[in-house]
Amino acid sequence: MSKVTVLTAVYNAERFLPQCLDSVLGQSVSDLQLVCIDDASTDGSLSILKDYAARDSRVRLITHDVNTGQAVARNDGLEVADGEYVIMVDADDWLSEDALEAAVTVLDNDSRMGCVLLNLTYQYEDGRTEPYPMRSGKTVWTGYEAFELSLDWSVHGLYMARAELYRKWPFDATVRLFSDDNTTRIHYLNSELVGSCKGVYYYRQHGGSMTNSANVLRYDLLEANSSMARQLRGLDLPAEVLSKFERERWINLTGVCIWWLEHEARTAESVFNEGVLRRLEAVYEDVDKSLLPTALKLKPGYRPCGGFNGWLRQVKFYNMLRKTVRFANK
């Protein structure tokens, strides 16, 4: 059975880190390398990592003096990865005992298989679990099919891949968050086949996670989308595929704008809000609105009308109506 490298970028994760590390080191396959990158944690994470590295030779520890973000940290981990296959596991998540074996078996048994999705399961703080809502009934896709399905996340992006895919296309470090989505799509597109397995990836849902935090990093989603759009425009793709991604960009743009309107009063007027408006306007102008589906362009709050300022006034009005309806229904 081939060797696998697990990449775990760590930043202030001491509360959940032992469960993550124990789940990796307790896998039913023993031929593995766990590369942990401490991204300048300020809590007890580094001490925990040092303890695990001292006790288990399969743990390789890399430390950063300055916080660089997940993509840069993972790329540093790739520099020392020696497994035939690579998978990332976030420091607050964990795996079922057979997760790596299940994925490795699929890859070992078919040389055409570039990536293998794990069985992604949301784990909530109240103990509830919920499977990821896959919108495809298949278990094996062509790379192009998986790529197209990933544009609106009809299939998820937590998977094991052949190391050569990561060597050719490492993590997109365009922004600190969300850019790994771009890497996933490129990996799928450049795989002959993409499969799935029954090994479970437990994806913890909690308010403290980076992707759930209500802070300025939320705008990284728009920057990551713009990076993906630039890459897609360099490929010979059908218009309907580009339309699918532009639809997601437009929905994300409107969602981030609404989030900003909800939190605007908590931020200082002036430079911050002016900077946000410039970022929103840049994305507005970059989206190819001719590719947006007609149904979306006619939907209140999403109509690309009257340039950026007209669109912004529309979103503000739409958000005001939403709040009025919520208040009336209380």
- Per-10-residue mean pLDDT, the chain, length 330: 96 97 96 97 98 98 95 96 98 98 98 98 93 96 97 96 97 83 95 98 77 58 91 91 94 90 61 77 95 93 90 90 68
What was the pLDDT predicted at 249?
Answer: 94
What was the pLDDT predicted at 264?
Answer: 64
How far is Cα of residue 269 from the mean position of the Cα atoms in its chain? 31
What was the pLDDT predicted at 322?
Answer: 77
Mapped onto helix, strand or coil, the DSSP state of residue 204 is strand
d(CA 44, CA 66): 16
**DSSP assignments along 79-123, one per residue:** TT--SSEEEE--TT-EE-TTHHHHHHHHHHH-TTEEEEEEEEEEE
- The domain locations on the chain are 4-205, 216-328
**DSSP assignments along 229-281, one per residue:** HHHHHTS---HHHHHHHHHHHHHHHHHHHHHHHHHGGGS-TTHHHHHHHHHHH
Class of domain 4-205 as given by CATH: alpha beta
pTM equals: 0.88
* Rounded (10°) angle between helices 45-55 and 17-25: 20
Amino acid at 180: D
The residue among 65, 121, 115, 69 whose CA lies nearest residue 95 is 121
Neighbours of 11 (CB within 10 A): 20
What was the pLDDT predicted at 21?
Answer: 98
The token duo for 71 is 């993509």
Mapped onto helix, strand or coil, the DSSP state of residue 212 is coil
Beta-bridged to residue 202, according to DSSP, are 94, 121
What was the pLDDT predicted at 324?
Answer: 77
What was the pLDDT predicted at 214?
Answer: 44
What was the pLDDT predicted at 207?
Answer: 63
What was the pLDDT predicted at 202?
Answer: 97
Torsional class of 38: left (φ above 0), alpha (ψ -120 to 50), beta (otherwise) = beta
Pairing of strands 85-88, 159-162: antiparallel
